[in-house]
Amino acid sequence: MSSDQRFFDFLKERIGLDVTSVGPAIIERAVRQRSMASKALTADEYWQILQGSRDEQQALIEAVIVPETWFFRYPESFVTLAKLAARRLADLNNMRALRILSLPCSTGEEPYSIAMALLDAGLKPHQFKVEGMDVSPLSVEKAKHALYGKNSFRGQDIEFRDRHFTAENDGFRLDERVREQVRLQVGNLLDPALANEPPYDFVFCRNLLIYFDLPTQQQVFEVLKRLTHVDGVLFIGPAEGSLLGRFGMRSIGIPQSFAFSRQHAPEPVSATFAPTPLPVRQPVRNVAPTPVRSRPFATVAPVPVMVKTANPDSAVLLANIAALANEGKSAEARAACESYLRSHEPVAQVFYWLGLLSDVAGSTLEAQGYYRKALYLEPQHPDALMHLAALLQSQGDTAGARRLQARAARSERAADSERKR
């Protein structure tokens, strides 16, 4: 009963969700769960319950949205933010506090990471304020509680936890000094009321556009454009850069920061600037133990510390490629990929990295070719599927993008089933 189009349309209208971005099975499962919880026996019966109860509407949305996040995800973004924030304050002559938005903020890891990064970089509490917004009241409530388990701390460098958290029972409580910098609230990016908000100096909106169809992406982008100050910077997810390029935004030129300017591109800042040690992660497969997969199309995986040896094996070489790329050393990373292909059998991960490096450099056709080579070798490579889908979407090939998104969703469901065994 849950394949009823009415439920897909409801989620599209309420939160802009494109069913093909997550796959119908996820929505169908959520509808079945809520139908059982509501004791509805038929699709029509549950539909009537849904239409008559705002609580049930929110419960269905909560059942579809499965937040998967952690502190300092995409660490180069926070390094870049710290440098740009200092420059922005100087431009403003410290006449006002910086306004920063995290949307969707999920369970709080991202907005709190923003606050920790800026405090560690030397900014004073009165110099910035962070606002976090999410469509899920349950997620916002968890964020306000600010008690986190081990899954929120990933990677090998988690020294920030010692600085900003206190062990409590089986988790870690975030210090009040950080919490005071962040205001959390329930909100929807498609809410017309957001149009009245003053623009923000920095906006984090990552891995959201990929869940929408093209018309909704355009609508959401217009909202993000209004929310981002004319001299501000918008941080997005790794699969969304091509979409922003199509909408007229330009990368600020820092690899792995996924940062775009609304009009003119700010002068690039040093990619090596690091006010504090931040956790480092890269999407490397067959190198580290199997990572916990995130929501569909997210790119996650811890990377081991590199140790150079006289005769490095393929796993170490792959990890070295990832480390170079994540440090912003694009030329060195590309050379390492080419060296790998000269001395080893071709593997999907190397072509994926070549595709990502070309993508970041703006060579979309070259990137597309590398992603397709990765998928030839590994047809269900999730990251290659994700990035190639974004490229096709940016070129107007919506049908092709949706086919790849559906493949990625099937791969994700298969991985979920395998982990549960």
Ordered by start, the domain boundaries in the chain are 5-64, 75-261, 314-420
3-state class (DSSP) for residue 154: coil
CATH code linked to domain 75-261: 3.40.50.150
Range name among 11-15, 28-32, 244-248 with the lowest pLDDT average: 244-248
pLDDT tens digits for range 109-122: 999 999 999 999 99
Residue 108: predicted pLDDT? 95
Q: Compare 31 and 390 and report the one with higher pLDDT.
A: 31
Domains 75-261 and 314-420 belong to one CATH topology: no
Most confident by average pLDDT, 227-241, 301-315, 382-396: 227-241
Question: What pLDDT was estimated at residue 160?
Answer: 96
At residue 129, the pLDDT reads 97
Residue 308: pLDDT band with limits 50, 70, 90: very low
- Of all residues in the chain, the percent with pLDDT exceeding 90 is 28
pLDDT digits (tens, 9 = 90+) for 182-214: 999 998 887 887 777 899 999 999 878 777 777
- Mean pLDDT in residue range 57-64: 82
With cut-offs at 50, 70 and 90, classify the pLDDT of residue 71: very high
For the chain, the average pLDDT equals: 79
In the predicted model, what is the mean pLDDT of residues 85-93?
94
pLDDT recorded at residue 328: 67
pLDDT (average), residues 154-167: 90
Q: What is the rounded average pLDDT of the residues 92-96?
A: 92
- pLDDT-based confidence at residue 299 (cuts at 50, 70, 90): very low
Q: What is the largest CA-CA distance in the chain?
A: 68
Residue 416 and residue 249: Cα distance in Å, rounded?
A: 35
DSSP 8-state code for residue 194: G
The residue-averaged pLDDT of 288-317 equals 43
**pLDDT tier at 270, thresholds 50, 70, 90:** very low
User: Among the CATH numbers 3.40.50.300, 1.25.40.10, 3.20.20.70, 3.30.870.10, which is that of 314-420?
Assistant: 1.25.40.10
pLDDT for residue 57: 86
Give the integer Cα–Cα distance in Å for 63 and 43: 17
Q: Give the residue-averaged pLDDT of 272-279.
A: 36
Tell me the mean pLDDT in the region 303-321.
60
Indicate the helix (H) or strand (E) that contains 15. helix 5-15
What gap in Å lies between CA 215 and CA 142, rounded to an integer? 32
Is residue 125 packed enough to be buried (19+ CB in 10 Å), middle (13-18) or exposed (0-12)?
middle
What is the reported pLDDT for 380?
Answer: 83
Asked whether residue 271 carries a pLDDT value surpassing 70, the answer given is no
Q: What is the dihedral of CA 14, 19, 21, 24, to 10 degrees?
A: 140
Among the residue ranges 99-103, 238-242, 256-260, 379-383, the one predicted with the least confidence is 238-242
**215-247 per-residue burial string, b: 16 or more CB within 10 A, e: under 16:** ebbeebbebbbebbbeebbbbbbbbbbbbbbbb
Give me the pLDDT at residue 284, please: 34
> Which two three-digit tokens encode residue 308?
């150079």
Structure confidence at residue 327 as a pLDDT band (50, 70, 90): low
Cα dihedral: 230, 232, 237, 240 (round 10): 20
Helices 314-326, 348-360: crossing angle, 10 deg rounding: 10
pTM above 0.85, yes or no: no
**Does pLDDT of 309 surpass 70?**
no
pLDDT confidence band for 101 (50 / 70 / 90): very high
Q: Look-up: residue for tokens 């269900």?
A: 380
Q: What pLDDT score does 107 carry?
A: 92
The single residue listed with the structure tokens 């498609």 is 190
Averaged pLDDT for residues 283-299 = 34
The predicted structure's pLDDT at residue 288: 35
Element (H, E) at 250: strand 250-251
DSSP 386: H
**Spatial separation of the C-alpha atoms in residues 377 and 399, rounded to whole Å:** 23
Between the ranges 5-14, 90-99, 253-262, 407-416, where is the mean pLDDT highest?
A: 90-99
For residue 300, the model assigns a pLDDT of 33
CA 140 – CA 61 distance, rounded (Å): 14
**Confidence (pLDDT) at 358:** 83
pLDDT tens readout for residues 120-159 = 999 999 999 999 999 888 889 999 999 999 989 987 788 9
Q: What is the DSSP letter of 150?
A: G
